[in-house]
Amino acid sequence: MHEIVNAALVREGRVLLVHRSPNRRVYPDVWDLPGGHIDPGETELAALAREMHEELGVQIATGSAIHLCRLEVGHGEDSVSFSAWLVGEWDGTPTNAAPEEHDEIRWFRPEELPPLPHERVGTAVVEGMRGRL
C-alpha cells in the first residue's frame, strides 16, 4: 500500500490548492491539496512537513496540524491511503517550489473550492475550515 499525506494550508478563511500539471501520470490537470508519499520509517507529520517544504517552500508548525480524514483507494499492491491534515501555522510564503509537479497554486474560499480528486477529502477540508473560521 502506498501512503500519501496532504495538507490544507488555511489562512484568513482560504485554503491553498495546487493545480497538478497535465503531464502527471496520476490525477493530471486537477486542483488538489499539496502533499506526497510518506518515506519508509517517516511519520505522517514528518512527511507532511517535508512535503510542504519541498512543494511550497514553507516550514509548517506540526503542532498546528489537525487530522481531517483518511481515505483508502484501490486494492492490493496498487492501493493508496490518503491522510489529509489541516494546517493553520507555518513560516514562509507559499510559492510553487515544485513546478514540475504543479503549474499553479491558488487560494480558495470554501464556497469557491473546485472539485478535488476525492470528494470525501474536499468535504473534510470544507468542514475543517468552517470549524476554524
For the chain, what is the mean pLDDT? 93
Considering only CA atoms, give the Rg of the chain: 14
pTM for this entry? 0.92
At 25, is the pLDDT very low, low, confident or very high (cuts 50, 70, 90)? Answer: confident
* Contact between residue 64 and residue 87 where contact means Cβ atoms under 8 Å apart: yes
Q: Is the model more confident about 22 or about 121? A: 121
Name the residue range of residue 7's domain.
Answer: 2-132
How confident is the model over 87-116, as a mean pLDDT?
96
Residue 35 has pLDDT above 70, yes or no: yes
Report the C-alpha gap between 122 and 119 in whole angstroms: 5
Instruction: Decide the pairing of beta strands 14-20 and 102-108.
Output: antiparallel
pLDDT tens string 40-89: 999 999 999 999 999 999 999 999 999 999 999 888 888 899 999 999 99
| Largest Cα–Cα separation, the chain | 40
- pLDDT range class, residue 131, cuts 50, 70, 90: confident
CATH number, residue 30: 3.90.79.10
- As for how many domains the chain has, the answer is 1
H helices of the chain, in order, are: 44-56, 119-132
